[in-house]
Structure 1
């Protein structure tokens, strides 16, 4: 039988057999299901082979039967290594302590690197990172995942467009892309201001140029609002018209609201189980009871332990079960109408500019079909409606 890792785990010996009946000794070993391998003749009445440690006791009777002399010239495997380590306890303890210390240091935070940030943003980022718990000496497996850290940092750092986070060894690397403010506009070319939508003029503030419309006047898309020509006939000047013109615009929205809806919500109650995983085999170490929830959602977090630059086949896992409950939400028809108005308003706001304001709404059509309230709504919006139109020479 070939020597393999199982032999090393359980231990084996190199055995020398001397005597006239060495072959008979080997045959008796095979007959008694004793594993021997790598048999070699090294003399006229001398052979060498390997024998599993667990079979050493079994050969005593065979030695007496065959009148052979047996000696063990080499001991190999973990059992013999363990025995040697036990004899040299101080040395073994020192090596084990050293490896354990290296293991701990390999799973701690020892560096935080920030690139691409101005001093002000770098200071803010360091404060956010410290609030999360990322600091030197902190165990890596006790910190949020890289994805969660990136989300928190990006949401908290207002002056950054994007923040990249990487964990290389024991160092967190943060790469920051800051917001770039638009350059101040230089000289403005001569222009008119025209309407970009159909609207009723609500109010206007003209800084430069000549107003061509008045409040409460209806204008079409592309109609001239503020002219870049100023002065009287014969003394006309061309300027870059500057003004703010707010118009009243109507938007139509179609929305349907179910009168009865089932949805799931988290109750806030949770149970967490912790594991050590060896070669993808999970061994519970804390929180052995399974959650007694009827409905729950499981969030799993894994951390692979490291030793220097090597990733070990050992993971620390946590599985958090969050209790969920099913809720039936029912609206009266009047409540569904109000919910529909607000839903449509939220969707409309997503398409409007920051200067727009919804000042009124009107339900044009309301119907109840198949357990739903169907609405057609018009919203009254005040927003800035100017658009630039360059003045071409010869106009």
Structure 2
């Protein structure tokens, strides 16, 4: 099988056979005349197959005729022959190119947005929210936001949904909505909607109470269990709180609780630093495809950060699905910093404190901390830490749950341990 290199594919190459009694004299002449012949294969005693570049064909042809050899062109390869065939069928070639360009352009857009799984959230609300994030029919795929970012921002703005998934299928965007389960309410429950008791979300000792509505059923320094009613939503007789007026409970009940945290703090830190070296590259893009130079390195640095900017060709407000992509490569290097055991311990404590404060919310604070255990394992400092913290332990519970929830001494069958 004839193999052709890239330079010869551009200039053209032919495979021919020569037949005659004076082939040997022809080869001597070709060597002296500087006519390069490749892949010489004797097919018969007086028949020879050779390869040569297209530009050497006519000098070879004249020499072969001089020695009265029969010439037969066996194969033609390269762009000159392809271009000749294309010129004979120019309208077909133009049509094929236009078809490819139109197909690529059409496949570079979003043509449909489908929403599934929603029953209570209107389609119009979801479509409007998608449009504010740049997702709508007719949008270029390269301008769509990242899927993870879009899902997170939509879920923040649609509290009725417990989960939102977004996926791209060809030219179609599919948004799947998992709505929060709604509990059917009776007429009495509808009337009581928005009024709650306050119950304990975990075991604790009451530290402080700031009640604005409702009847407190516990006091400071009382030990409460998870699920116990702290403030009744009925206000009236403390001996029979369920007989009072339904005003709803509100306020903050701070309780002292215990957390146990386990963290691993590395004794080696890797920091990334920019060296200041940078390099820019520009490529053409067509739809969602970037046309890169196959003979150049993809990245000029061993370690780098890449910033990509897409610049479509624009006429007025209309953007075409092709243009330039500019990529800027910033060289980086990793520096390692060794820490002592004490320094790693401080970092571990900071990490554990941040985790605890994130868990206890805006009303929380740390009263006391104590390292229960410390050891070094595989280049990391292992810490087991006990925290005494203050946090708001009150959570609302609808008044329609029943009278049983009003018993301040009632606790669940399997109460949790005081430490978490």
TM-score clears 0.5: yes
Query: Offset at 1:216?
Result: 3.9
From 366, 382, 393, the equivalent of 2:392 is 382
CA contact (8 A) 1:246 1:385 kept: no
CA contact (8 A) 2:267 2:344 kept: no
> Which sections of structure 2, spanning at least 5 residues, go unmatched?
29-36, 116-121, 190-195, 311-324, 408-420
CA contact (8 A) 1:274 1:317 kept: yes
Query: Offset at 1:85?
Result: 6.5
Query: Offset at 1:225?
Result: 5.0
Query: Offset at 1:183?
Result: 2.6
Measure the CA separation in 1 of the matches of 2:130 and 2:275. 30
CA contact (8 A) 2:275 2:331 kept: yes
Residue aligning to 1:343: 351
Residue aligning to 1:162: 164
From 335, 360, 364, the equivalent of 1:358 is 364
Query: Offset at 1:329?
Result: 9.1
Q: Deviations over 1:179-210 (max 9, x none)?
A: 63553662489x998754132263375978x7
Q: Deviations over 1:214-269 (max 9, x none)?
A: 344333456665789998999x9799997567241222445779797633135495
**How do 1:131-150 and structure 2 match up within 5 A?**
143=142, 149-150=146-147
Which SS does the other structure have where 1:129 is aligned? coil
TM-score of the two chains, using structure 2 as the length reference: 0.53
Residue aligning to 2:130: 125
Residue aligning to 1:309: none
Residue aligning to 1:306: none
Q: CA RMSD in A?
A: 6.3
Measure the CA separation in 1 of the matches of 2:343 and 2:335. 24
Which SS does the other structure have where 1:323 is aligned? strand
Query: Offset at 1:298?
Result: 4.9
Measure the CA separation in 1 of the matches of 2:178 and 2:296. 46
Residue aligning to 1:308: none
Query: Offset at 1:390?
Result: 6.2
Q: Does 1:323 align with 2:322?
A: no
Residue aligning to 1:84: 84
Q: Deviations over 1:341-382 (max 9, x none)?
A: 653332124444x6x621442244699998989765422223
Q: Does 1:197 align with 2:207?
A: no
Measure the CA separation in 2 of the matches of 1:351 and 1:79. 68
Which SS does the other structure have where 2:203 is aligned? coil
Residue aligning to 1:176: 175
From 247, 250, 257, the equivalent of 1:250 is 257
Residue aligning to 1:265: 272
CA contact (8 A) 1:226 1:241 kept: no
TM-score of the two chains, using structure 1 as the length reference: 0.55
Which SS does the other structure have where 2:393 is aligned? strand
Cα 1:220–1:52 shift into 2, 3 Å: closer
CA contact (8 A) 1:341 1:377 kept: no
Query: Offset at 1:71?
Result: 5.8
Number of residue pairs aligned between Structure 1 and Structure 2: 341
